[in-house]
Amino acid sequence: MNLQLLTIIFAAFISITNACLSIAVSWDHEANRVTGTARDNGVVYCTLDTKKYENQLWFQCQPGYAAYITRDLKIFAWHAHGVDYRIDAYHAVNLSGHDKRWANSFGCECGGWMCQFNREDDVSDP
pLDDT of residue 97: 73
- Residue 14 belongs to some domain of the structure: no
- Residue 82 belongs to some domain of the structure: yes
Going from the C-alpha of 102 to that of each of 5, 14, 15, 121, the distances in angstroms are 35, 24, 22, 11
Which H or E element spans position 50?
Answer: strand 43-51
Q: Which residue has the higher pLDDT, 91 or 5?
A: 91
- Residue 6 belongs to some domain of the structure: no
Burial of 76 (0-12, 13-18, 19+ CB in 10 A): buried
- Domains contained in the chain, number: 1
- Residue 112 belongs to some domain of the structure: yes
Domain that holds residue 52: 20-121
Q: Which residue has the higher pLDDT, 110 or 42?
A: 42
- Residue 77 belongs to some domain of the structure: yes
Predicted confidence band at 5 (pLDDT cuts at 50, 70, 90)? Answer: very low
- Residue 13 belongs to some domain of the structure: no
HSE value, Cβ hemisphere, 13 Å, CA-based, for 6: 3
